[in-house]
Structure 1
Amino acid sequence: MTNPDTAPTYTPLNMPVPTGDQLKAARVAAGLSQAQAAELMGYPLQTGSRGGVQSRTWQALESTTDERNMQGPVFAMFLLLTGQHPDFVL
């Protein structure tokens, strides 16, 4: 039972924004395609020009020329879900 007079303690987490190269490296290390990684994280999928499935959002996040980056907490969740987080395990 918790004491109502005691404030909860929180552990600050370092959740840096990954570069496109860091995100790609984590995805490849997890053995996932861009579409699989996007689906895992809830990003939209589209039908590609060759009939396969793709995620333009994930492609942009991995791009070194696009200014969009995955937010740090989302990247931390991706690392947790794929068993790659350096400090925590689900």
Structure 2
Amino acid sequence: MPSPSGAELKAARLAAGLSQVDAAELMAYPVQPGSRGGLQSRTWQALESESDPRNMPGPIFAMFLLLTRQHPLYALVGKDTTTPAGQ
């Protein structure tokens, strides 16, 4: 999967109903206190910015889409915990 543009990443985040902080926490990106109180993720802000050269690697974006149930081809499926391992 190719790296998303900032606009594509933002659209996926909004479709998932997540704030930048929620999305950053989901993907283990750093979150820090903001200048106006609350929390912010400068890393996520940069990834969504059209003017910043950083972008999210394609495999990480694929994982974000899987975790937010937006991947076009695949879906995560929970483990069957009723069957003991190895059987």
TM range (shorter): 0.7 to 0.9
Q: 1:41 is aligned with what amino acid? A: M
Superimposed CA distance per residue, residues 57-82 of structure 1 (whole angstroms, 9 cap, x where no aligned partner): 00000000000000000000000000
How do 1:69-80 and structure 2 match up within 5 A? 69-80=55-66
Residue in structure 1 matched with residue 6 of structure 2 by the alignment: 20
RMSD: 0.3
TM-score for both structures, normalised by structure 2: 0.87
Corresponding residue SS for 2:44? helix
Where structure 2 has 5 or more consecutive residues not aligned to the other structure, the ranges are: 77-87
Distance 2:30 2:55 in 1: 16
Could you state the TM-score of these two structures normalised by the residue count of structure 1?
0.84
Question: Structure 1: 5+ residue runs without aligned partners?
Answer: 1-14
Equivalent pairs, count: 76
| Equivalent in the alignment of 2:79 | none
User: Residue type of the partner of 1:33?
Assistant: S
Larger Rg: 1
Give the corresponding residue for 1:68. Answer: 54
Q: Percent identity?
A: 74
